[in-house]
A and B are shown apart, each in its own frame.
Chain A
Amino acid sequence: MSKDKATGNIRTWFKGGDPWIWLIGGAVSISVVMVLGLLLLIAARGLGHFWQPPIVETYNTQGAQVERVLGTIRQSETVTAQSVREAGYEVPLEQELVTRYLFKLGNRDITGSDFQWYIADNLQEFRYPETAVQLERREWGDFFGYLLRVKEAGETVAEGDQAFEVLQERLDRSNDLARQAIHLERYDIGALNRSIEQARLERRRIEMIDALDGAERQTQFDEIEARVAGYNAEYEVLRQELEELRRSARRDSLVAETSGGREVEIVLADVVRASAANQMSTGDKIVEYGHRFWDFMSGYPREANTEGGIFPAIFGTVIMVLIMSVVVTPFGVLAAIYLREYAKQGPITRIVRISVNNLAGVPSIVFGVFGLGFFVYFLGGNIDQLFYPEALPAPTFGSPALIWASLTLALLTLPVVIVSTEEGLTRIPRSLREGSLALGATKSETLWKVIVPLSTPAMMTGLILAVARAAGEVAPLMLVGVVKLAPNLPVSTEPPFIHLDQRIMHLGFHIYDVGFQSPNVEAARPLVYATALVLVMLILVLNLTAIAIRNRLREKYKSAGE
């Protein structure tokens, strides 16, 4: 009886539709969980990149062999024994599930592999030795080992407990020297190289002027030659200075023992940072965290982009977006004003409006193809023919460049600005417009003094959304202007200050490149997460700002309209 009642209940329950409401509600829950989960995942992985984990020492038994393992734990997971067996590990037959740890062992130059899975059952108890150090090196990734002593020009200066402290001091010195050397190389020598290249092009230009007679040409050549000789002399001085710096940086070294028991001597000039993780307090780790985060944001990439910082990528993204904004804002705003205020509201305007709308839905790669064909090869090629014939066949503007990337993105984001501005213009009450005109203002006065100021927030929204879209777009940029590694920023202290013909690095492309094109993806993975976090934060902040402005705007006109 009660059972019948229950089934009847269920039937009516289903008939009423309640369960279906819950089910479709579940779709929202899943979507929200996915979005938040994704953001959390990126945040956790990205922020975790800078935290110094403890250095674990343990022993791994594989068959009859016992080996010492020293490193940090990257990941642990439970998998079926079968899949581990297929990967070549020995697991007892009766066991069905195993836990395994991914150790970061470093020492790529010594052992060849810097990441290794270990089965938990084969590992002995974890220990955290105080003398264990993790060194971030300029080449070959990280080093893990036990610090033995610090040397100066071959003489031991510190041993045992004091060794690490002395190491830190001397590391500061060698890093300082390295910074000077890089500065010298990047700016002073870089500028010289540019001048020499300029002189070469100048010579070529003179060669191409047919009107010059031999003697005149020769005097100009001599003048250039003298200048180049001057540059070369300057270069020689700088080069010696650089060598001196480098030699001085190589004075100190450290000796450490690897987990395999080998003693290794490492020159401090090759070390970026040393941390004795197991001696650090939480406070130390927080300070260290700050340092690493700052280095990441302000540093240049190293080791095929898998280590170091992402400053050039951030800079490239920002400058590209800035140039894009300068182009797209006036153009987009004026076009929106035309469509809303000047154009006759007929079928043609409607078609144009729909087309502009639809332009936003066109795949971005199509804009990339257009940009490559039209901007780079057609416009750029012609500019080279006209203005830079001396550099041909090497292209100046005829190859992917900052300016073309910005213009392509401007085209891509044009609909965003137009649509948003138009929306702002429609929201302005008719009465304001009519009031202004009734007072005798001309149309342009009404426009500039009444309508435009009132719709500024809408334009801002459009611009911010455009910037957010542009900052995250990668596909078209791969064709028109980004590059995996640009040694120089696209700005300099000499005219023309902004080098529009240079290629740039870009955050989004950096993620793609490091995550999918680099030889050591496992080592680069945390860096990709951190880069992704920076990009996501940038875009979230921009978008939330835009949403906030838009909402405030709507409230404002809701009251004005009524």
Chain B
Amino acid sequence: MESTDTPGAKSSRVNSGAVLPGREARRRLRKVRMGKDVLTRLLVSIAGYGVVISLALIFIFLFAEVLPILRGANLESPTSYSNPGPAVETRYIATERYQESAVRFSADGQVNFFDPRSGEAQLEEQVGIPETATVRSFAFAEPRTRLVAYGLSDGTVAVARHEYALTYPDDVRLVTPKLEKPLGEDPVVLDDEGQPIEVLAVQESARGTTVAGYTADGRMLMARYEARRSMMTGETELTRTVHELPAPPSVPTRILVDTTMRNLLVGDAQGFLHYYDISQPDQAVIRDSKRVIEGDMVSVTAMEFLLGSVSVIVGGSEGSVSQYFLVRGDDNIGRITRIREFERHPDSITTIFPEYSRKGFVAGDAGGNVGIHYGTSARTLKIENVSENPIANLTVSPRNNGILYTDGTGQMHHAELWNRHPEVSMKALWNKVWYEGRSQPDYVWQSSSATDEFEPKFSLVPLTVGTLKAAFYAMLFAMPLAIFGAIYTAYFMSPKMRGMVKPTIEVMEALPTVILGFLAGLWMAPFLENHLPSVFTVLIMMPLAMLAMAWLWRFRPAWIKHHIPPGWEAAILIPVVLVVGWFAVWSSPLIEVAFFDGNMRQWLTDVGITYDQRNALVVGVAMGFAVIPTIFSIAEDAVFNVPKHLTQGSLALGATPWQTVIGVVLLTASPGIFSAVMIGFGRAVGETMIVLMATGNSPVVNFNIFEGMRTLSANIAVEMPEAAVGGSHYRLLFLAALVLFGFTFILNTLAEVVRQRLRAKYSSL
């Protein structure tokens, strides 16, 4: 009997049959029990590792979503084939949206459509250049209009458009290219005197097609054509208005007309840029001239508008690439202003081509390098040597996922391009950026707008400042209340009252922030606006009234002394708080009448302080309310757990309770209080609903207590649902989330470490 369960006992002699389970049964039972044990261990371990994995997953996933914005551009899988079409100079190349078709405009007016990846010919067309004329110049409008023009030797201009029809037979995409002539089959007349057009510009807008040209005899001409299809005959009718502009000071090399048809820019061989105001073409004047390339013997070799035709990218013979646009001064006259420079190419710039839907461009140089740049972020993503010969023509696909170029050897080259997030750079996120149409560099967050040529403004500065501003005012409100309250509750309050106060604070912690935000936005904001002086009354009166009460309390009659022991001060002060609060509200209109001309808000505005109804004051109070319980409970814990023998020793030496608090308790518990503040700060930084509801969410950069702000978290809540998946904006919002995550995580970890150390210290004391 004594060894029934001992392993190795050969048989259970004493097992008297029916009473205990047999050997087999026991073994089976043991197996089942062991199986269950293993199973439990497995299950529990899976859950344990699951938590660790999901924790890591959050971080890794957020990081993975952010990572692509740090990548530069990449060129891959290059292919080459001989030029489709005649063996003459190539004037222009472009690809279609899906890179299934591309077009080459030759110097003799022949147009060839081909597959950009394989070079396979698709269609051959003619622009229609009369046999009596020769091609003297070439121009293209904004790439997305797909409009090009040939300037001819007889003063006429041949305009053509490359078009692509999309069809889906059998659910497979089919791209059919074709050539259109929007101004009719024949070239249109620009110069009535029939002089050759030496330099040409073309642009298209809702108001028609504008063509500007410089003739061989030194005149600047600008014509506007409007093609209208006649309802009756079905024929295209063309209206034409021609203006002669003042002649440029020297021979131009390049002319550009913007899409608003108000500005015309001329670049010349001396490195100057001239700005014509053509809003009234018959009174056109040169408003400004500026040297855009510095140094001797250098000239402008390439010049092109960015999307939206506001910015001009100028490439110089020494390889410099810089961006200019017109900045209006106080006199409302645009001046050509250098905005930023890009990384210099090793050789003279030969060609520039803007992106179709963003403010980026590609540039080719005489050394066979292709550079990929982006305007707003001033980023040069890549300069790669792709050829030994100068790049003659260069184009980027409409979706920025491929480039096509020629290098004057009769070969066409194609490469796939990865360039998804050029808008983002450290500089663009954190420094002042000079955005198009603004008079100076600034911090702006404006992620989207209605128009296609909108320049997204991704400066994180307004959001960061807003976040810190909200957290700062919240802490300003919460810290004194929470820390003082915690010291009092832990050290002076009677246990009975403590038992009531602590659950109240816990309830405070549990209140959903959406409730606080809604009260702040819908109740407190209008209330404070109407009773602004009461804020200041409370600030001044509250401590004074409390001190007065404390002074009076010394002279209380004996019977009160018996009934209310020390430790109930807070309860006695509740009526005082109520009375002061009521008095502040009641007296608020009187103060306004007496000191602020009857309306403090108006008075503030007159003094020059902007006042928003939903402002940092409201947020500070509401978010402070949300943060108080967090700070309170941790700080109270730290103060309460200060070893009793320390305080008793201090009291025994004759220190008053207050001196003990200052000299002993606070000193010992300060790390705990510090960690409480850190955790509270972390909560204030990440809080979303309160700021979303209690501010106007305008991304401003200031610390004015009477203005609103937009925080990182509120920004995510507002913009995330609308952000295009995978875009730069989307990833930037992920970055904001990652920053919040990392920041609060580190802050909390630090606080936790501090607290654990403190706990160890307490137990060792």
Q: A residues near B, CB below 8 A?
A: 10, 13, 16-36, 38, 41-42, 77-83, 85-86, 96-97, 330-331, 333-335, 337-339, 341-343, 352, 354-359, 361-370, 372-374, 377-378, 411, 414, 418, 440, 442-445, 447-448, 468-469, 471-475, 478-479, 508-509, 511-512, 515-516, 521, 525, 528, 532, 535-536, 539-540, 543-544, 547
The reply to whether A342 and B593 contact each other, CB–CB distance below 8 Å, is no
Over the window 569-587 of chain B, the binary record of Cβ atoms lying under 8 Å from chain A Cβ atoms (1 yes, 0 no) is: 1110110111001000000
Query: How far is the CB of A88 from the nearest CB of chain B, in Å?
Result: 14
Over the window 28-67 of chain B, the binary record of Cβ atoms lying under 8 Å from chain A Cβ atoms (1 yes, 0 no) is: 0000011011011101111111111011011001100100
B543 within 8 Å of A by Cβ?
yes
The reply to whether B484 and A27 contact each other, CB–CB distance below 8 Å, is yes
In the complex, which residues of chain B have a beta carbon less than 8 angstroms from the beta carbon of A19? 547, 550-551
Over the window 530-559 of chain B, the binary record of Cβ atoms lying under 8 Å from chain A Cβ atoms (1 yes, 0 no) is: 100000000000110011011101100000
The reply to whether B51 and A366 contact each other, CB–CB distance below 8 Å, is no
The reply to whether A358 and B54 contact each other, CB–CB distance below 8 Å, is no
The reply to whether B740 and A374 contact each other, CB–CB distance below 8 Å, is no
In the complex, which residues of chain B have a beta carbon less than 8 angstroms from the beta carbon of A27? 480-485, 488
Known: A30-B542, A35-B507, A358-B752. A343 touches B687 (CB 8 A): no
Stretch of B304-312, B352-360, B372-380, B512-520 that contacts chain A:
B512-520
The residue among A31, A335, A341, A511 with the most chain B CB atoms within 10 A of its own CB is: A31
In the complex, which residues of chain B have a beta carbon less than 8 angstroms from the beta carbon of A359? 55
The reply to whether A478 and B506 contact each other, CB–CB distance below 8 Å, is no
**20 sampled A-B residue pairs with Cβ under 8 A:** A25-B570, A27-B488, A28-B484, A33-B581, A38-B511, A96-B589, A330-B47, A334-B47, A338-B47, A338-B48, A352-B55, A363-B686, A363-B687, A365-B740, A373-B65, A374-B61, A478-B721, A535-B514, A540-B507, A543-B506
A367 to B57, CA, bound (A): 12
Interface secondary structure of A, over-half rule: helix
The reply to whether B693 and A512 contact each other, CB–CB distance below 8 Å, is yes
The reply to whether B514 and A41 contact each other, CB–CB distance below 8 Å, is no
The reply to whether A468 and B510 contact each other, CB–CB distance below 8 Å, is yes
The reply to whether B65 and A334 contact each other, CB–CB distance below 8 Å, is no
The reply to whether A442 and B36 contact each other, CB–CB distance below 8 Å, is yes
B741 within 8 Å of A by Cβ?
yes
A335 to B54, CA, bound (A): 12
Nearest B residue to A528 by beta-carbon distance? B518
B720 within 8 Å of A by Cβ?
yes
The reply to whether A365 and B61 contact each other, CB–CB distance below 8 Å, is no
Nearest A residue to B487 by beta-carbon distance? A24
Q: B residues near A, CB below 8 A?
A: 5, 33-34, 36-37, 39-41, 43-52, 54-55, 57-58, 61-62, 65, 480-485, 487-489, 492-493, 501, 503-508, 510-515, 517-519, 521-523, 530, 542-543, 546-547, 549-551, 553-554, 569-571, 573-574, 576-578, 581, 589-590, 592-593, 597-599, 601-602, 625, 628, 632, 656-659, 661-662, 679, 682-683, 685-689, 692-693, 713, 716-717, 720-721, 725, 733-734, 737, 740-741, 744-745, 747-749, 752-753
The reply to whether B573 and A22 contact each other, CB–CB distance below 8 Å, is yes
Known: A472-B515, A473-B512. A356 touches B51 (CB 8 A): yes
The reply to whether B488 and A77 contact each other, CB–CB distance below 8 Å, is no
One of B510, B593, B721 near A80 (C-beta < 8 A):
B593
A447 to B37, CA, bound (A): 10
Nearest A residue to B47 by beta-carbon distance? A334
One of B507, B554, B741 near A366 (C-beta < 8 A):
B741
Nearest A residue to B61 by beta-carbon distance? A374
The reply to whether A29 and B577 contact each other, CB–CB distance below 8 Å, is yes
In the complex, which residues of chain A have a beta carbon less than 8 angstroms from the beta carbon of B61? 370, 373-374, 378
A442 to B29, CA, bound (A): 12
One of B530, B574, B656, B658 near A79 (C-beta < 8 A):
B530
Known: A80-B598, A471-B512. A377 touches B725 (CB 8 A): yes
A479 to B737, CA, bound (A): 13
Nearest A residue to B57 by beta-carbon distance? A374
Nearest B residue to A22 by beta-carbon distance? B550
Nearest A residue to B46 by beta-carbon distance? A334
Nearest B residue to A77 by beta-carbon distance? B530
In the complex, which residues of chain B have a beta carbon less than 8 angstroms from the beta carbon of A18? 550, 658
A483 to B363, CA, bound (A): 47
A536 to B599, CA, bound (A): 36
One of A85, A372, A508 near B514 (C-beta < 8 A):
A508
A41 to B523, CA, bound (A): 10
In the complex, which residues of chain A have a beta carbon less than 8 angstroms from the beta carbon of B512? 471-474, 508, 535-536, 539
The reply to whether B744 and A363 contact each other, CB–CB distance below 8 Å, is yes
Query: How far is the CB of B750 from the nearest CB of chain A, in Å?
Result: 10
One of A368, A479, A511 near B515 (C-beta < 8 A):
A511
One of B36, B589, B662 near A97 (C-beta < 8 A):
B589
The reply to whether A16 and B37 contact each other, CB–CB distance below 8 Å, is no
The reply to whether B40 and A443 contact each other, CB–CB distance below 8 Å, is yes
In the complex, which residues of chain A have a beta carbon less than 8 angstroms from the beta carbon of B745? 355, 358, 361-362
In the complex, which residues of chain A have a beta carbon less than 8 angstroms from the beta carbon of B482? 27, 31
The reply to whether B679 and A364 contact each other, CB–CB distance below 8 Å, is no
The reply to whether A29 and B574 contact each other, CB–CB distance below 8 Å, is yes
One of B45, B493, B530, B720 near A342 (C-beta < 8 A):
B45
The reply to whether B47 and A331 contact each other, CB–CB distance below 8 Å, is yes
A367 to B546, CA, bound (A): 44
Query: How far is the CB of B539 from the nearest CB of chain A, in Å?
Result: 12
In the complex, which residues of chain B have a beta carbon less than 8 angstroms from the beta carbon of A544? 503, 507
The residue among B43, B505, B518, B522 with the most chain A CB atoms within 10 A of its own CB is: B518
Query: How far is the CB of A547 from the nearest CB of chain B, in Å?
Result: 6
The reply to whether B43 and A479 contact each other, CB–CB distance below 8 Å, is no
Known: A80-B598, A478-B721, A547-B503. A31 touches B485 (CB 8 A): yes
In the complex, which residues of chain A have a beta carbon less than 8 angstroms from the beta carbon of B518? 511-512, 515-516, 528, 532
In the complex, which residues of chain B have a beta carbon less than 8 angstroms from the beta carbon of A443? 37, 40-41
Q: A10-B551, A26-B573, A83-B602 are in contact. List 10 more A-B contacts (CB 8 A).
A: A23-B547, A27-B482, A27-B484, A30-B481, A86-B602, A338-B47, A368-B716, A370-B737, A472-B515, A474-B513
The reply to whether A31 and B522 contact each other, CB–CB distance below 8 Å, is no
A318 to B689, CA, bound (A): 21
In the complex, which residues of chain B have a beta carbon less than 8 angstroms from the beta carbon of A80? 589, 592-593, 598-599
In the complex, which residues of chain A have a beta carbon less than 8 angstroms from the beta carbon of B725? 377
A38 to B658, CA, bound (A): 32
The reply to whether A342 and B511 contact each other, CB–CB distance below 8 Å, is no
The reply to whether B748 and A28 contact each other, CB–CB distance below 8 Å, is no
The reply to whether A30 and B511 contact each other, CB–CB distance below 8 Å, is no
One of A31, A83, A479, A543 near B628 (C-beta < 8 A):
A31
The reply to whether A370 and B58 contact each other, CB–CB distance below 8 Å, is yes
The reply to whether A444 and B50 contact each other, CB–CB distance below 8 Å, is no
The reply to whether B656 and A25 contact each other, CB–CB distance below 8 Å, is no
The reply to whether A547 and B748 contact each other, CB–CB distance below 8 Å, is no
The reply to whether B485 and A83 contact each other, CB–CB distance below 8 Å, is no
The reply to whether B752 and A543 contact each other, CB–CB distance below 8 Å, is no
The reply to whether A338 and B688 contact each other, CB–CB distance below 8 Å, is no
A394 to B687, CA, bound (A): 33
In the complex, which residues of chain B have a beta carbon less than 8 angstroms from the beta carbon of A358? 744-745, 748-749, 752
Nearest A residue to B39 by beta-carbon distance? A444
A525 to B525, CA, bound (A): 14
The residue among A16, A334, A335, A365 with the most chain B CB atoms within 10 A of its own CB is: A365
Known: A42-B515, A525-B522. A370 touches B589 (CB 8 A): no
Query: How far is the CB of B524 from the nearest CB of chain A, in Å?
Result: 10
In the complex, which residues of chain B have a beta carbon less than 8 angstroms from the beta carbon of A475? 513, 688-689, 692, 713, 717
